[in-house]
Amino acid sequence: MQRIQALSNQFNPTIAPPAGNVTYPWVMKYPDFFPFEQVGNLKGKTVIISGGSRGIGLAIGIRAAKDGANVVILAKTVDPHPKLPGTIASACAEIEKAGGKALGIQCDIRFEKDIQAAVQKTVETFGGIDIVVNSASAISLTDTESTDMKKYDLMHQINTRGTYLMSKTCIPYLKKSSNPHILNLSPPLSMQSKWFAPHIAYTMAKYGMSMCVLGMSEEFRNQIGVNALWPRTSIATAAVQNVLGGDSMMQASRNVEIMADSAHVILTSCHKKTTGNFFIDDEVLASVGVKDFSIYRCDPKFSDSQLAPDFFI
């Protein structure tokens, strides 16, 4: 918690981005280095990813596939969506192109039977489960009066309940793995009202995912590594393009590969020593020697310090 409370002291004010007059005080000054103990790569490991047909989830799957992993894509999108890129089939094709074995399963993680069937199919196909990535998430950045209960229920059913249920269902198989991990794409827990007031329903749903990390990491200590990963900056995904800020926000974002590379560091580390952490993407990479983050910028005209901050940091 001390690291989380100190995050606001890690940045310097900077000039405005080239195309606007907004100033982002957003440059990493004092990264918190974590002593990762690497235990190999993901070759032959089975990685199951909810929400894996696009965005960060797919990027994590592709990075695992480069090691020769078995990657299971759980998603709802079978037919192409007019505003959202990627389907289960296209995601599996990218996994196999990257060097991994792919299994695509249509699954709505709100429903227990869907998850149970997906996990059973995974075990039948690959013999077990080594890693769970809870990437699926729903977002509505609306205040209390503007949030209808259908949106509220959707966020809590997918984010909090879906993460809990995915993890719970996979735990018996994870316990049989030599280096099991659960990774939730959720933010550091920080009980500051500024993170709740603008969109309390969304915050509660995302913090529910983080509370799973807090509780399960201790419940399954020395058995399963359970961690959270969150981006320091906005990440160029369909949600950012369609919901949060359009082209201008995409320009001020980093690409999905920074989350994939940092997830890979976590998932290839010792599960007994890497657990119970709320990691920030660039701090993970800095911990293993990365100093140049320019390769992750979507627009090379933007410096690292001119990128848009993500929520909750």
Active site residues: 202
Helix pair 200-219, 162-174: axis angle to 10 deg? 20
